[in-house]
Structure 1
């Protein structure tokens, strides 16, 4: 299955961001992709009040994503914000395309490195997988990357690919942590991992310097189920297509049966 890693820099203009998402999906379709993955917060960047930005899953922003998915026949996964029951918002992944209509609310909130995502965002509580052309795909978001049990839950549900839209914060050692963790999660679950981050607002900026909000550092990557990097991007906006072989996950799982050999759950 060919997938597209669509690395973009969101602004605070939701209409502008929707147009960018649609452009990425059309380009992904032209390249033969069946799945297009956009970053966390594709709807609007972090660093602004999220309540006024949030829309329901049947609102105009999500409908705009559905429109391009219908037009191209590509399944699209994109980060947005939806209203939560307690006045906060949910950090939501919309997954939509042929035979697919699902959403995932980020389970692990970014209460780390001086940020408190939970002040304004309500946590999800549901592990979500989808099927794209017969390939089961697990959904995760950004800070979820630090929790291997979620990726193993994807594998237990039959997924051979986990996708991770992100808006990874800059700061000392953060790029190295990103690159280490995406490979580690592939090894934990013996799954493909497609990690798609917000590109850096200034690709020439020093990623070691923290920003006021986690607006992204780029370096999206596709990792094989053996933990090797199969493709990767730099800091700037870009689209990358690559092929995922579900049978390779099966072969790696037979060779390194970490899922079967677990003794603690």
Structure 2
């Protein structure tokens, strides 16, 4: 499966479904079947009050993204503040299929720092998965991937490609350069990691978006300086061969480290 990773630099007018439409058009023209965008890609990350722009999972923004996916024939993962049914606000992502149908919804389970803790309620469901073109896709958001337990939960549930919209900040570049590729190897899956880049409000984002493979390679990587649309291939044969060579899941002894 050919996928696209959108690395964005937030600027006035660069948010929302309209900006996503241009990226989806470009991704489809370059042969991508799936477009992965950063955390909170529809609104920007540095929001004074996410509740003011939060929408239900099936709100107007969802309808707009569904039309974009259907028009360009490309699946889309996008992030937004979700207005939950209980009045809570969640840092959420939705995966929409190339036909515009919603395939999966995920709420960030590990909130990062005081800003997120003050504005969002953590999700409670892992793993969240969907099927597309014969691959099992899984969803996490940013800080979630820094917990090996969260990624391992996906691996044990059969995730082949882990989609991680993110807003990694400087000076934590090592998460993108070292930890994300390590997660792909230790749990034997692909990790698609799409970040923001540059300053936004009080935050400075690291960029370094990448596709990390289970064989230890990083087929595509953006730099930490500019927006980009990366194109990479998720190869089921690489996945199968790597799992044969690296039987970490089969050789686990969970009775020794259950807690």
Common fold: TM-score over 0.5: yes
Once the two structures are superposed, what CA deviation does each residue of 1:151-195 show, in whole Å capped at 9, x if it has no partner?
122222221111111011123xx1123211111110121111111
Query: What pairs up with 1:63-102 in 2 under 5 angstroms?
Result: 63-85=63-85, 87-97=87-97, 98=99, 100-102=102-104
Q: Is the 8 A contact 2:15 2:44 kept in 1?
A: no
Distance 2:154 2:87 in 1: 30
Q: Is the 8 A contact 1:95 1:101 kept in 2?
A: yes
Matched, 1:132 2:132: yes
Once the two structures are superposed, what CA deviation does each residue of 1:35-59 show, in whole Å capped at 9, x if it has no partner?
1100101011222210001111221
Q: Which of the residues 206, 216, 221 maps onto 1:217?
A: 206
Q: Which moved more, 1:83-92 or 1:61-70?
A: 83-92
SS state at 2:215 partner: coil
Q: Which of the residues 221, 235, 241 maps onto 1:232?
A: 221
Q: Is the 8 A contact 2:141 2:164 kept in 1?
A: yes
Query: What pairs up with 1:100-249 in 2 under 5 angstroms?
Result: 100-111=102-113, 115-126=114-125, 127-171=127-171, 174-201=172-199, 212-213=202-203, 216-235=205-224, 236-249=226-239
SS state at 1:27 partner: helix
Distance 2:130 2:152 in 1: 15
Partner of 2:32: 33
Q: Is the 8 A contact 1:218 1:233 kept in 2?
A: yes
Distance 1:201 1:31 in 2: 29
Q: Is the 8 A contact 1:6 1:39 kept in 2?
A: yes
- The gaps in structure 1 that reach 5 residues or longer are 203-210
Q: Is the 8 A contact 1:225 1:249 kept in 2?
A: yes
Distance 1:93 1:12 in 2: 22
The Cα RMSD (Å) is 1.9
Shift, 1:144, TM fit: 0.6
SS state at 2:219 partner: strand
Distance 2:80 2:151 in 1: 21
Shift, 1:10, TM fit: 3.3
Partner of 2:21: 22
Give TM-score scaled by structure 2 length: 0.90
Give TM-score scaled by structure 1 length: 0.88
Aligned length: 250
Q: Is the 8 A contact 2:15 2:41 kept in 1?
A: no
Q: Is the 8 A contact 2:146 2:175 kept in 1?
A: no
Q: Is the 8 A contact 1:100 1:130 kept in 2?
A: no
Distance 2:140 2:124 in 1: 12
SS state at 1:200 partner: strand
User: After the TM superposition, which parts of structure 1 deviate over 4 Å for at least 4 consecutive aligned residues?
Assistant: none
